[in-house]
């Protein structure tokens, strides 16, 4: 790497900051994918990947993708709960990677709940 100018240092800092965001950052929203045995069997791992890919492709850093245990509604797995700041949590069921992309696009980016996949209100701390 060549010697930096002040502008390059500043630009590099911005990029570096987005890389360590998980360690220090504030998040405006959280997606929890339910990863009980039932969820994993129904394909929850792919849902996690789909959300992570969306995050990467769109260069979004202030949305947290996380996992939790079984949500108790095993027949509707894979499921995920989307919680945005100052908005009620929304639970989605029977997810596929495509549905996850649409949720990311409409709900997380656009603030519009995807009614057709939603199965209800309520945070999920299941386990």
Partner 1 sequence: MATRRIELMICAGTGCVASGAFSVRETLEKEIEKQGLQNEVSVITTGCNGFCGQGPLLVVMPDKIFYGWLKAEDIATLVEEHLLKGRPVKKLMFVPPEKKEPIPLISEIPFFKKQVLVVLRNKGIIDPENIWDYIAREGYVALEKALTQMKPEAVIEEVTKAGLRGRGGAGFPAGTKWKLSRKQQNPTKYLIANCDEGDPGAYMDRSLLESDPHSLIEGMAIAAYGIGATKGFLYIRTEYPLAIKRMEIALSQARELGLLGENMLGSGFGFDIEIRQGSGAFVCGEASALIRSIEGEIPEPRQRPPRTAEVGLWGYPTVLNNVETLANVPVIINRGADWYSRIGTEKSKGTKIFSLVGKINNTGLIEVPMGITLREIVYDIGEGIPGNKKLKAVQTGGPSGGCLPSSMIDLPVDFDSLAEAGSMMGSGGMIIMDEDTCMVDVAKFFIQFTNDESCGKCTTCRDGSDALLEVLTRICKGEGKEGDVEFLEELSLAIGDASLCGLGTSLPNPVLSTLRYFKDEYLAHINEKRCPALVCKDLIKYYIEPKKCVGCQVCSKNCPTGAIKGELKHVHIIDETKCTKCGTCLQLCPPKVSAVVKVSGEQARNLKVLEKPIPVASARALS
Binding site for partner 1 (CB under 8 A): 1-6, 9, 12-13, 16-17, 19-20, 22-25, 27, 32, 35-36, 40, 45, 48-49, 52-53, 55-56, 64-69, 127
Residue placing its CB nearer to partner 1 in the complex, 13 or 98: 13
Beta strands 29-34; 63-68: pairing state: parallel
- Separation between Cα atoms, residue 99 and residue 76, nearest integer Å: 14
Neighbours of 10 (CB within 10 A): 10
- Closest contact distance (angstroms) between CB of 79 and partner 1 is 13
Residue placing its CB nearer to partner 1 in the complex, 33 or 90: 33
- Closest contact distance (angstroms) between CB of 90 and partner 1 is 18
Alpha-carbon Rg of the chain, whole angstroms?
Answer: 17
Residue placing its CB nearer to partner 1 in the complex, 25 or 112: 25
Could you tell me which of 38, 103, 31, 29 has the C-alpha nearest to residue 69?
Answer: 38
- Closest contact distance (angstroms) between CB of 23 and partner 1 is 5
Residue placing its CB nearer to partner 1 in the complex, 51 or 117: 51
Is residue 121 within 8 Å of residue 90, measured between CB atoms? yes
Neighbours of 78 (CB within 10 A): 27
- Closest contact distance (angstroms) between CB of 116 and partner 1 is 26
């Amino acid at each position: 790497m060549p010697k930096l100018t002040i502008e390059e240092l500043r630009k590099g800092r911005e990029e570096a900051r987005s890389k360590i965001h998980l360690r220090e950052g504030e998040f405006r929203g959280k997606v929890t994918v339910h990863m009980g045995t039932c969820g994993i069997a129904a394909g929850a791992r792919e849902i996690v990947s789909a959300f992570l890919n969306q995050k990467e492709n769109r260069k979004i850093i202030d949305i947290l993708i996380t996992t939790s245990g079984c949500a108790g509604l095993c027949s509707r797995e894979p499921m995920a709960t989307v919680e945005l700041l100052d908005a009620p949590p929304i639970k989605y069921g029977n997810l596929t990677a495509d549905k996850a992309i649409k949720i990311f696009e409409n709900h997380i980016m656009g603030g519009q709940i995807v009614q057709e996949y939603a199965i209800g209100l309520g945070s999920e701390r299941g386990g």
